[in-house]
Amino acid sequence: MTVARSAGQIGPADGPAQLAGVELTALRGVRLLDGTLADLDLADGEITAVRAGDGRASTDAGTDASGWRLVPAAGEPHAHLDKALSAEQIEPGPRAGNDLVSAIEQWRSLVPTLTSDDFADRARRAVRRYVANGITTIRTHADALLAGDPLRGVDALLGLREELRGTITLQVCLLAGQDVPDAVIEDAIGRGIDVLGGCPHLADEPAKETSRILDHAERSGLPVDLHTDEQTTTGHLDLADLAEQVIARGMSQRVTASHCVRLGMLGHDRRGPVVDLVAKAGIGIVTLPITNLYLQGRDADGAAPRGLTAIRALLEAGVPVAAGADNLRDPFNPVGRADPFETTSLLVAAGHLRPAEALAAVTTTTRTVLGLPAAGTGPGSRADFMLVPDVPLDEVVAGAQTARVVVHGGRVLADTRVSTVLDLDPMPR
Ligand SMILES: [Zn+2]
């Protein structure tokens, strides 16, 4: 446990990392997203005032943040902390990689060997990586397991949520497949999950499975987040079913559809009506570039699809599109850095978003989709943000900066500085 203390200055990006545990009450001369310099006051976990200023006119109260840029808090809207870092437990083999079906098979072969402690240990280590990189809000899906105690992974993550309560925000979403009995879903609801999820696209009767999960959501009042259309096949979309059911039921709780890969496969004529339905239903979408670029398109004989949803069409229809990474070093994604700027890079390169749009997808829109109040955006918003070196925003979104100071509720949770020594002189000609 660190003791709260104040700091006179953030200091240089290549200086010592020593601010973890510091409570910030004011920042002076920090660069905002719009490029202006400002002084900020912080109190009770909120930003209470923002004034234009370079810090020079201020009294010596507060922390000199010159040389740093404030970026609103990043979130991971779709993680699998129960699976994270399990790649370490997989025997290296000759396979070139997994598609969705083989990844599920590999994961299921691991499950019987995994204990509650193992789930908690890997999840805790993954959270440390996310937080160090600026992600202080995480929605994690958690499998209802088909071997052993079905809720031991869920329990481990609920335990971690309580352990971290007041430090970061962790939402646990049950991921119940069609083979998970209703009684297990009700048991998980009783244990205090935050969100109900499922994977109708893997069910024998997808529309019926969507109905089953929505029935539980209506009874419990919990928000919904379904793995949806995580394939490259076209045909009738489960997303359209979901939107129609949400509208017909008049559901008031937040409903999210993650992946929606098949929507990205459609041309304008077939895509338009589905996008309109999603907008009308008020559904939030989560796109997950790194994992879907890895899993999808393996059976293509040239011109492999990208595995992303129809991001531009959704944004143009006013649908909130959040972005995350999904899996982290497990059978579904063997790589990944738990870094919001890895996702923004992919959104620009593979999703064709502008840098500012990519940044919104991992920060402000993620909070919208997760049903959380604004953070790091101005007076009255949560004092949750990142400080990164004051370079142009495009350079930030490119993920080129590793140094960062991560603040949640006004408290510095992580401080990373980078010092590099190069010997390129004299350069060979
Ligand atoms: Zn997922």
What is the Å distance from ligand 1's center to 248 Cα? 26
pLDDT-derived band at 3, boundaries 50, 70, 90? low
pLDDT-derived band at 58, boundaries 50, 70, 90? low
Count of residues making up the chain: 429
287-308 pLDDT tens trace? 999 999 999 999 999 999 999 9
What is the Å distance from ligand 1's center to 381 Cα? 29
What is the Å distance from ligand 1's center to 78 Cα? 6
What is the Å distance from ligand 1's center to 326 Cα? 5
What is the Å distance from ligand 1's center to 146 Cα? 17
What is the Å distance from ligand 1's center to 235 Cα? 22
Say how far apart CA 352 and CA 309 lie, in whole Å: 12
What is the Å distance from ligand 1's center to 176 Cα? 12
Which pLDDT value is given to residue 56?
62
More confident residue, 62 or 340: 340
Tell me the pLDDT of the chain averaged across its residues. 95
What is the Å distance from ligand 1's center to 73 Cα? 22
Per-residue pLDDT averaged across 1-29, rounded?
86
What is the Å distance from ligand 1's center to 304 Cα? 21
What are residue 23's DSSP bridge partners?
A: 411
What is the Å distance from ligand 1's center to 39 Cα? 40
What is the Å distance from ligand 1's center to 76 Cα? 11
What is the Å distance from ligand 1's center to 18 Cα? 35
Which pLDDT value is given to residue 338?
98
Angle CA 347–289–143, to nearest 5: 145
391-407 pLDDT tens trace? 999 999 998 889 999 99
Which pLDDT value is given to residue 399?
87
What is the Å distance from ligand 1's center to 142 Cα? 9
Residues 135 and 165: beta-carbon distance below 8 Å: no
What is the 3-state secondary structure of the chain?
CCCCCCCCECCCCCCCCCCCCCECCEEEEEECCCCCEEEEEEECCEEEEEEECCCCCCCCCCEECCCEEEEECEEEEEECCCCCCHHHHCCCCCCCCCCHHHHHHHHHHHHHHCCHHHHHHHHHHHHHHHHHCCEEEEEEEEECCCCCCCCHHHHHHHHHHHHHCCCCEEEEEEEECCCCCHHHHHHHHHHCCCEEEECHHHCCCHHHHHHHHHHHHHHHCCCEEEEECCCCCCCCCHHHHHHHHHHHHCCCCCEEEEECHHHHHCCHHHHHHHHHHHHHHCCEEEECHHHHHHHCCCCCCCCCCCCCCCHHHHHHCCCCEEECCECCCECCECCCCCCHHHHHHHHHHCCCCCHHHHHHHHCHHHHHHHCCCCECCCCCCECCEEEEECCCHHHHHCCCCCCEEEEECCEEEEEECCCCCCCCCCCCC
Go through the domains of the chain in sequence order and give each one's CATH number.
Answer: 3-72+376-416 (2.30.40.10), 74-369 (3.20.20.140)
What is the Å distance from ligand 1's center to 256 Cα? 12
Which pLDDT value is given to residue 429?
64
Which pLDDT value is given to residue 94?
66
Measured over the CA atoms of residue 84, residue 90, residue 95 and residue 98, the dihedral's sign is: negative
What is the Å distance from ligand 1's center to 179 Cα? 17
Per-residue pLDDT averaged across 143-165, rounded?
97
Say how far apart CA 63 and CA 43 lie, in whole Å: 14
80-130 pLDDT tens trace? 999 999 998 887 776 789 999 999 999 999 999 999 999 999 999 999 999
pLDDT-derived band at 60, boundaries 50, 70, 90? low
What is the Å distance from ligand 1's center to 22 Cα? 34
Q: Is the pLDDT of residue 383 over 90?
A: yes
